[in-house]
C-alpha cells in the first residue's frame, strides 16, 4: 500500500549525483557546473560550536510582510525561514527533510498524504503545536478570501482530517506529485489559537511561529531583528541575535561585508565583487550555485515574424552565447540548454538540441523560411522587413549590454532588432497583450523548491507564459508529470519537455547565472555543499559565530 | 492682504484637487498588475479566478471612477488606506515612519548649507575678483557639478572603509546622519551660495547703495543695513524651491546610505505599483508645495516693501 518516504529521498539524490559524476553522464557544462559550483570555497576548519553573538545579513529590498502566506522573494523569505516551520522542508541540496512532521506516507494512488507530527513542539508563546494548527493553516491560506498567494497550491486538497493530535491526513481531488515539495515547504504553520484571535492583519506584524528565532523588532524598510527561541524543538540556536539590514545599493552591501558590518548577503552585489569575495577564501566562505531562473529573451510567439520556429532557431544559431557569458558575467554562469537549470540533477537532461554559435546555419534557416537579404542588408519577405523590438527593463544596467551584443549579432545575419526600455510590469503586461515583441530578464521555467513542474510559465494558459508559447504536447506532459507519483516516470516527462523547449525555442535561453552566497569566515557550522545556496539560510539555527 | 490670502488659499485647494485627479490617473495608468509582483518569480500555480480573488481583496476589481471616489472619500476623513505590498499596514503609518528621516536629513542639510552659504556668498559678492571669490567660484561650481550618488559612495569609501570613522550605511546611531547630511548639504550650499553672491553683486551696483555711500554711511552699515536684507530675497525663493523638490535629492541619498526615508518609500511604491502609498505621498507633497509656495509669497510680501505697495494698490 503506502510507502515510507522520510529520508529515502536524500539517499536517492546523493546517489544519483555521485553515480552521474562517476559514470561521466553529466559532461560538458553540466559537469563543469556541478563539480565546482556546489562546493563552498573556504579554507577554514570547523570547531566546537559557541553560543552567542549577533549575525547580520544584508538584503536589497524591504521585508513587506511577516505573513507566511504572502511573503515572496529572497529577502522576506530569509525572515520567514527563521520564524516558522513547515511540515517538511526542502534543504540546500533539494532534499525533502522532516520538520514539524517526523515522517509521512503517500498512498500508492498518490491521493492521500499522512503526516505524523513531532511531539513537544512549542510556539513562541509557549503553547503546544498540534494537528489543529496544521489544518487551520492550510484552510486559512488556502481560502481565496485570505488574499494569500498560496491559494493555488491548496486547490487540489479535498479534505484535511486530524484523527488525533499528532496525525494529519490530506486527501487530494487528483494525484499531485508536487504536493509534498511545493506546498508543504511553502505552508509554514501558524498557531490557530493566536492567529484566529488577532486576525491576519495583526498577525503579519506580530507573528508567532515554531521557528528557531522569534521576532524582536521589524522596521520593514530598515531592518528586521530576531532573537533565539529558547524552546525550539531542534534546540536553542547558537546565535543570539539574527538581524537583516536593508541596503538597496549593491556596492554599499559589498562594503558592509568588507568592513565587518555584515556577515552575509541575502542578495549578492555586483559580479566583480562576488568574484573578489570568492577568491578571498581566508576571510569569506562562498557558495556558488547555478540559479534556478534562466536568463533569457522572451520572444512573443504570437508575433507575425517570431511565430516561425525556424526564425527562432536561426536566432539561437546567430547568437554567440558563450561570449555573452564571458563578456557580461565574467564567466560566472552556466550555458542554458533548455528550461531547467543543471542544478536540478534529478530532472535535468543534456540530451536536447544544441545551438552552437553558427551564423551560416542561421542564414540557411532564414533562407528556408523565405527571408532574403534586401538592398539595405536587412532581410525581407513579401515586402515585409525582418524587424522587431526588444524591450529591456528600464535602468537595467547589468543586462542591457546583452541585448546590445545580440543586436549586433542578429544584424550580421540580416535581422534588425531595435531596442527600447520600459518597467518590468509594463513589459510583462505588454507581452501578455501582444504589444511587446521581445524582452530580456531572468525567470523560472520550473525548478522552484527542486520540483520541475511549470504550469504557469510553460502551460498554454499559464499566467506567466511570457512568450505566449502554446504546445499541446507540453500541456499534456505537464499534466502527466503533475499526476505521476513515480519519480523516474515523472523525470521522463520533464526530460521530454526540455527536449521540446530546446527544439521549439519559445524564448532565447542564454544562461543560468552563478548565484553567490557569501559568508564572513567568522560564521561557522555552514553546510559542506549546496545545490541552491539561498536555502542555506534555513540552517541559520545551526550556524555559530567564532569569537 | 486678507483678500489676497483668501484668493491664494482657494487657488491652492483647486490645485490640490486637480493634482489628486492627475495623480490617481497617472498611477493607475502605469501598465502592469500589482498581483504579478505579489506572486514573484516563483512557480506559484495560480489561476485567473484565484488572481481575481486577490484583486477583489484590494478593491482593484471596481471601476476606476469608483476607486477614485472611494480614495478621495477616505482622504477627506483622514484615512490614507492600506498598502497592497506591505499588506495591511496603514499608509499613514508608513509615511509617519519615513517622514522624520527625510525631514531631519533636509533640515540639518539646509541649516548647515545656510550657515555656510550666506556668509560665504556675502563675502564673495562684496569682494568680487578677490582670491576668496575665485576659490569660492571654483568650489561652488564643483559642488553643483558633482553627482550626489558619486559623492556619497566616495565618502563611504573614505570614511567608512579607509578611515573607519563612520558607519557606511543605516541609522543605527546618530553618526549615520553625518555622511548623508554632508552630501545633501554640499549641493545645497553650492546653489545657495551662488545665488547669494549673484544677488549681492547685483544689489551693490544699485543706485540706492551709491546714495547711501555718498551720504557717508560706513561700508558695514551699507552692507548689513541695505545690501544683505535685499540680497536675501532670491535666497528665500530658492529655499522654497528646494523644499518643493526635496525628494529629488534625498531619494538617491536614501538609497545609497540605506535610509528608510520618504524618497525611497515613494520610489519603491511606484516601482511595485503600491497605488495607495504612491498616491498618498504625491498628495502630501503637493499639499506641501502649495503651502510652501503660499508661505514663500507671504514672506516675500513681508520683506519686500514693493510687493506690499502692489497689494495695497489693488
- pLDDT per residue as tens digits for the range A242-251: 999 999 999 9
Q: What pLDDT, on the 0 to 100 scale, is given for residue B246?
A: 67
What is the SS3 assignment for A285? strand
Complex prediction ipTM? 0.83
Q: What pLDDT, on the 0 to 100 scale, is given for residue A24?
A: 39
Higher pLDDT, A144 or A122: A122
Name which of B41, B58, B83 is nearest A443 (Cβ-Cβ): B41
CB-based contact, B265 to chain A, within 8 Å: yes
Residues 6 or more apart in contact with residue B290 via CB below 8 angstroms: B12, B15, B16
The pLDDT tens digits of the residues spanning B181-220 come to 999 999 889 999 999 999 999 988 888 888 888 888 888 8
Residue B130, pLDDT above cutoff 70: yes
Q: What pLDDT, on the 0 to 100 scale, is given for residue B48?
A: 77
Read off the DSSP letter of residue A395. T
Residues 6 or more apart in contact with residue A95 via CB below 8 angstroms: A9, A10, A13, A14
CB-based contact, B167 to chain A, within 8 Å: yes
Residue B59, pLDDT above cutoff 60: yes
Q: What pLDDT, on the 0 to 100 scale, is given for residue B287?
A: 86
Name the residue in chain A with its Cα closest to that of B167. Answer: A261
Tell me the average pLDDT across A158-179.
95
Q: What pLDDT, on the 0 to 100 scale, is given for residue B80?
A: 87
Cell of A346: 534529478
Greatest Cα-to-Cα distance within chain A, rounded to the nearest angstrom: 79
Taking CB atoms and an 8 Å limit, are A442 and B167 in contact across chains? no
Element (H, E) at A282: none
Q: Rounded to the nearest 5°, which phi and psi values hold at A81?
A: -55, -35
Taking CB atoms and an 8 Å limit, are B97 and A219 in contact across chains? yes
Residue A59, pLDDT above cutoff 70: yes
- The whole-chain average pLDDT of chain A stands at 90
Tell me the average pLDDT across B253-263.
91
Taking CB atoms and an 8 Å limit, are A255 and B156 in contact across chains? yes
Q: What pLDDT, on the 0 to 100 scale, is given for residue A337?
A: 96
For residues A172 and A159, give the distance between their C-alpha atoms in angstroms, rounded to a whole number.
7
Picking from B43, B55, B97, B147 by the largest number of A CB atoms within 10 A of its own CB, the best residue to mutate is B43
The answer to whether residues B148 and B249 touch, using CB atoms and an 8 Å cutoff, is: yes
Q: What pLDDT, on the 0 to 100 scale, is given for residue A20?
A: 43
Tell me the average pLDDT across A186-191.
94
CB pairs under 8 A between A and B: 168
Q: What pLDDT, on the 0 to 100 scale, is given for residue A420?
A: 96
Cell of A227: 532573537
Q: What pLDDT, on the 0 to 100 scale, is given for residue A138?
A: 96
Residue A16, pLDDT above cutoff 60: no
* Smallest Cα distance from B94 to chain A, Å: 9
Q: Which residues of A431-464 are buried (b: 16+ CB within 10 A; e: fewer)?
A: bbeeebbbbbbbbbbbbbbbbbbbbbbbbeebbb
For residues B145 and B271, give the distance between their C-alpha atoms in angstroms, rounded to a whole number.
28
Taking CB atoms and an 8 Å limit, are A147 and B53 in contact across chains? yes
- Closest listed residue to residue A376, CA positions, set A414, A322, A412, A410: A414
Residue A284, pLDDT above cutoff 70: yes
For residues B32 and B85, give the distance between their C-alpha atoms in angstroms, rounded to a whole number.
14
Which pLDDT band holds residue B235 (cuts at 50, 70, 90)?
confident
* Smallest Cα distance from A156 to chain B, Å: 11
Name the residue in chain B with its Cα closest to that of A183. Answer: B44
CB-based contact, A247 to chain B, within 8 Å: yes
Q: What is the pTM of this model?
A: 0.88
- Closest listed residue to residue A287, CA positions, set A74, A58, A526: A526
Residue A14, pLDDT above cutoff 80: no
Taking CB atoms and an 8 Å limit, are A425 and B30 in contact across chains? yes
Query: How far is CA B288 from each of CA B242, B294, B296, rounded to the nearest angstrom?
Result: 12, 10, 12
Range among A179-183, A190-194, B4-8 rated most confident: A190-194
Taking CB atoms and an 8 Å limit, are A72 and B58 in contact across chains? no
Q: What pLDDT, on the 0 to 100 scale, is given for residue B116?
A: 94
Name which of B36, B47, B160 is nearest A255 (Cβ-Cβ): B160
The pLDDT tens digits of the residues spanning B160-177 come to 889 989 998 988 889 999
Stretch 418-457 of chain A: residues touching chain B, C-beta under 8 Å = 422-426, 428-430, 442-444, 446-448, 451, 453-457
Residue B66, pLDDT above cutoff 50: yes
Q: What pLDDT, on the 0 to 100 scale, is given for residue A13?
A: 42
Residue A133, pLDDT above cutoff 90: yes
Taking CB atoms and an 8 Å limit, are B260 and A222 in contact across chains? yes
Q: What pLDDT, on the 0 to 100 scale, is given for residue A6?
A: 39
Higher pLDDT, B55 or A370: A370
Judging contacts by C-beta atoms under 8 Å, the chain B residues touching residue A451 are 43
- Closest listed residue to residue A129, CA positions, set A193, A67, A187: A193
The pLDDT tens digits of the residues spanning A85-98 come to 999 999 999 999 99
Taking CB atoms and an 8 Å limit, are A248 and B98 in contact across chains? no
- How is B149-176 classified by DSSP, letter by letter? HHHHHHHIIIIIIIS--S-SSS-SSGGG
Stretch 129-158 of chain B: residues touching chain A, C-beta under 8 Å = 153, 156-157
Stretch 284-303 of chain B: residues touching chain A, C-beta under 8 Å = none
Taking CB atoms and an 8 Å limit, are B153 and A252 in contact across chains? yes
Residue A22, pLDDT above cutoff 80: no
Name which of B32, B87, B264 is nearest A429 (Cβ-Cβ): B32
CB-based contact, B37 to chain A, within 8 Å: yes
Cell of B197: 553672491
Least confident of A60-69, B79-88, B191-200: B79-88
- Closest listed residue to residue B31, CA positions, set A415, A189, A394: A394
For residues B89 and B76, give the distance between their C-alpha atoms in angstroms, rounded to a whole number.
19
Tell me the average pLDDT across A212-227.
96
Taking CB atoms and an 8 Å limit, are A152 and B46 in contact across chains? yes
Taking CB atoms and an 8 Å limit, are A255 and B157 in contact across chains? yes
Judging contacts by C-beta atoms under 8 Å, the chain A residues touching residue B167 are 261
For residues B227 and A315, give the distance between their C-alpha atoms in angstroms, rounded to a whole number.
71
Amino acid at each position: 500500500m503506502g510507502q515510507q518516504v522520510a529520508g529515502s529521498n536524500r539517499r536517492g539524490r546523493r546517489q544519483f549525483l555521485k553515480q552521474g559524476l562517476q559514470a561521466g553522464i553529466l559532461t560538458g557544462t553540466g559537469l563543469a557546473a556541478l563539480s565546482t559550483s556546489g562546493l563552498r570555497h573556504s579554507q577554514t576548519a570547523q570547531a566546537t560550536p559557541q553560543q552567542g553573538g549577533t549575525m547580520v545579513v544584508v538584503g536589497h529590498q524591504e521585508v513587506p510582510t511577516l505573513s507566511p502566506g504572502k511573503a515572496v522573494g529572497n529577502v522576506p523569505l530569509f525572515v520567514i525561514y527563521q520564524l516558522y516551520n513547515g511540515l517538511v522542508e526542502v534543504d540546500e541540496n533539494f532534499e525533502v527533510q522532516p520538520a514539524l512532521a517526523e515522517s509521512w506516507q503517500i498512498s500508492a494512488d498518490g491521493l492521500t498524504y499522512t503526516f505524523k507530527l513531532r511531539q513537544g513542539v512549542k510556539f513562541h508563546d509557549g503553547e503546544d503545536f498540534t494537528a489543529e494548527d496544521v489544518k487551520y493553516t492550510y484552510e486559512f491560506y488556502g481560502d481565496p478570501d485570505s488574499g494569500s498567494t498560496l491559494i493555488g497550491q491548496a486547490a487540489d486538497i479535498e479534505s484535511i482530517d486530524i484523527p488525533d493530535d499528532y496525525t494529519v491526513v490530506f486527501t487530494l481531488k487528483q494525484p499531485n506529485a508536487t504536493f509534498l515539495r511545493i506546498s508543504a515547504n511553502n505552508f509554514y504553520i501558524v498557531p490557530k489559537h493566536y492567529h484566529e484571535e488577532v486576525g491576519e492583519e495583526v498577525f503579519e506584524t506580530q507573528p508567532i511561529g515554531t521557528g528557531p528565532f522569534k521576532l524582536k523588532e521589524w522596521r520593514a524598510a530598515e531592518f528586521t531583528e530576531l532573537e533565539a527561541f529558547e524552546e525550539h524543538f531542534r534546540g536553542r540556536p547558537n546565535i543570539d541575535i539574527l538581524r537583516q539590514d536593508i541596503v538597496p545599493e549593491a556596492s554599499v552591501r559589498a562594503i558592509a561585508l568588507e568592513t565587518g558590518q555584515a556577515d552575509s548577503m541575502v542578495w549578492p552585489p555586483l559580479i566583480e565583487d562576488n568574484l573578489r569575495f570568492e577568491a578571498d577564501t581566508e576571510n569569506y566562505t562562498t557558495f556558488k550555485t547555478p540559479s534556478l531562473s534562466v536568463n533569457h529573451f522572451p520572444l512573443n510567439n504570437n508575433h507575425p515574424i517570431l511565430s516561425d520556429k525556424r526564425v527562432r532557431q536561426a536566432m539561437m544559431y546567430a547568437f554567440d552565447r558563450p561570449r555573452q557569458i564571458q563578456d557580461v558575467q565574467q564567466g560566472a554562469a552556466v550555458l542554458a540548454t533548455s528550461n531547467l537549470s543543471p542544478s536540478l540533477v534529478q530532472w535535468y537532461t543534456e540530451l536536447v538540441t544544441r545551438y552552437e554559435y553558427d551564423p551560416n546555419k542561421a542564414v540557411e534557416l532564414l533562407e528556408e523560411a523565405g527571408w532574403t537579404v534586401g538592398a539595405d542588408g536587412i532581410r525581407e519577405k513579401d515586402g515585409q522587413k525582418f524587424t522587431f523590438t526588444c524591450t529591456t527593463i528600464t535602468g537595467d544596467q547589468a543586462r542591457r549590454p546583452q541585448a546590445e551584443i545580440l543586436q549586433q549579432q542578429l544584424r550580421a545575419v540580416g535581422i534588425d532588432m531595435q531596442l527600447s526600455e520600459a518597467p518590468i510590469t509594463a513589459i510583462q503586461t505588454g507581452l501578455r497583450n501582444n504589444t511587446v515583441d521581445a524582452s530580456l530578464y531572468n525567470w523560472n521555467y520550473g525548478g522552484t523548491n527542486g520540483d520541475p513542474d511549470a504550469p504557469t510559465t510553460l502551460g498554454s494558459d499559464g499566467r506567466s507564459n511570457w512568450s505566449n508559447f502554446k504546445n499541446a504536447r507540453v500541456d499534456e506532459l505537464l499534466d502527466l508529470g503533475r499526476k505521476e507519483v513515480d519519480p523516474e516516470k515523472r523525470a521522463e516527462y520533464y526530460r521530454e519537455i526540455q527536449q521540446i523547449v530546446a527544439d521549439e525555442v519559445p524564448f532565447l535561453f542564454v544562461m543560468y547565472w552563478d548565484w553567490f552566497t557569501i559568508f564572513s569566515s567568522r560564521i561557522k557550522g555552514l553546510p559542506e555543499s549546496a545545490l541552491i545556496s539561498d536555502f542555506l539560510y534555513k540552517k541559520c539555527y545551526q550556524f555559530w559565530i567564532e569569537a | 492682504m486678507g483678500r489676497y490670502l483668501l484668493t491664494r488659499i482657494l487657488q491652492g485647494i483647486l490645485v490640490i484637487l486637480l493634482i489628486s485627479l492627475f495623480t490617481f490617473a497617472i498611477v493607475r495608468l502605469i501598465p502592469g498588475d500589482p498581483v504579478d509582483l505579489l506572486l514573484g518569480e516563483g512557480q506559484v500555480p495560480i489561476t485567473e479566478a484565484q488572481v481575481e480573488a486577490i484583486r477583489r481583496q484590494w478593491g482593484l476589481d471596481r471601476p476606476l471612477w469608483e476607486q477614485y471616489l472611494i480614495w478621495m472619500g477616505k482622504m477627506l476623513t483622514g484615512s490614507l488606506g492600506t498598502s497592497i505590498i506591505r499588506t495591511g499596514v496603514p499608509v499613514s503609518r508608513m509615511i509617519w515612519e519615513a517622514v522624520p528621516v527625510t525631514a531631519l536629513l533636509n533640515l540639518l542639510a539646509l541649516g548647515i548649507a545656510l550657515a555656510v552659504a550666506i556668509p560665504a556668498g556675502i563675502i564673495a559678492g562684496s569682494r568680487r575678483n578677490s582670491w576668496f571669490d575665485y576659490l569660492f567660484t571654483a568650489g561652488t561650481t564643483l559642488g553643483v557639478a558633482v553627482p550626489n550618488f558619486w559623492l556619497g559612495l566616495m565618502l563611504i569609501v573614505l570614511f567608512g572603509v579607509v578611515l573607519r570613522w563612520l558607519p557606511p550605511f543605516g541609522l543605527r546611531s546618530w553618526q549615520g546622519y553625518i555622511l548623508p547630511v554632508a552630501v545633501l548639504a554640499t549641493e545645497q550650499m553650492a546653489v545657495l551660495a551662488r545665488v547669494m553672491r549673484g544677488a549681492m553683486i547685483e544689489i551693490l551696483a544699485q543706485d540706492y547703495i551709491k546714495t547711501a555711500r555718498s551720504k557717508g554711511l560706513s561700508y558695514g552699515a551699507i552692507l548689513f543695513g541695505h545690501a544683505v536684507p535685499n540680497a536675501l530675497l532670491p535666497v528665500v525663493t530658492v529655499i522654497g524651491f528646494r523644499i518643493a523638490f526635496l525628494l529629488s535629492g534625498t531619494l538617491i541619498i536614501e538609497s545609497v546610505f540605506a535610509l528608510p526615508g520618504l524618497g525611497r518609500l515613494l520610489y519603491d511604491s511606484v516601482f511595485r505599483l503600491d497605488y495607495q502609498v504612491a498616491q498618498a505621498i504625491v498628495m502630501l507633497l503637493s499639499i506641501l508645495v502649495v503651502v510652501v509656495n503660499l508661505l514663500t509669497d507671504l514672506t516675500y510680501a513681508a520683506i519686500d516693501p514693493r510687493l506690499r505697495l502692489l497689494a495695497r494698490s489693488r
